[in-house]
Amino acid sequence: MNRHASVVVAAVLLIGLGSGCARQHEVSPSSMGDGQYDASALPSAVARPDLSQYVPTSNLNDIRFEFDKYEIRPDAAKTLDANAQWLKGNTKAQVLIEGHADERGTSEYNVALGERRAKATMNYLVSHGIDSRRIAVVSYGEDKPQCHEQTQACWAQNRRAHFLFKPE
C-alpha cells in the first residue's frame, strides 16, 4: 500500500471512530477534585452518574448565559447564591448541573460550550462552600432545547445551566 492510500485509510478510520461517539458528555465529581476540572481525565475512564436518580426541584433555579459565553453573569450569580444557600441547608443532597447551548454552532462546539457552562456553574458553587463531591455535570449542547423557535429570545432560553438533584 502506498503512502497516500495509508493516509486515506487512517483518515477514514478516524472519521468512523469519531462519528460513533455519544454527544452527551458527562464528568463525575471525582474527576474534578477541588472544583477544577482535570483535562487529562478521559470520558471513558470517568464513572458516569446515574442520571435516573436525579429529579427536578423548584429549590434550584436555572441560570442563563450570553451568546458564545460561559462566564457567570451578575443576575446568574444572585441565583447561584440562592442555590448555594439551599444546598448548604440540604447537606446530603447531590446536584447534577446540565450545560446547554442554543442551536447555533456545530454539535461538537455546543457540547464543549455546554460543558464549560456546567463547570463554571459548579466552580461558582464550590467557591461558595459547596463540596465538589456533591456535584456532577453533564453537557447536552443543543440536544435538549427548552424552546424550539428560531428567535433570539428562544435561543437565550436555551443557553443555560439546568439543575437536578438526587434526594437524600
Residue 17: inside a domain: no
Q: Which domain holds residue 134?
A: 22-166
Model pLDDT, residue 22: 36
Our count of domains for the chain comes to 1
Confidence of residue 19 (pLDDT cuts 50, 70, 90): very low
Residue given cell 444572585 in the structure block = 78
Placement of cell 448548604 in the chain: 88
Residue 50 lies in a domain: yes
What is the DSSP code (8-state) at residue 14? H
Domain assignment of residue 161, yes or no? yes
* CATH number of the domain to which 61 belongs: 3.30.1330.60
| Position 27 in a domain | yes
**Confidence band for 47, pLDDT divided at 50, 70 and 90:** low
24 pLDDT more than 50: no
Give the separation between CA 94 and CA 149, rounded to whole angstroms: 33
> Chain-centre distance of CA 133, in angstroms?
16
Per-residue pLDDT of 64-105, as tens digits, reads: 999 999 999 999 999 999 999 999 999 999 999 999 999 999
Let me know if residue 11 belongs to a domain: no
Residue with cell 483535562: 39
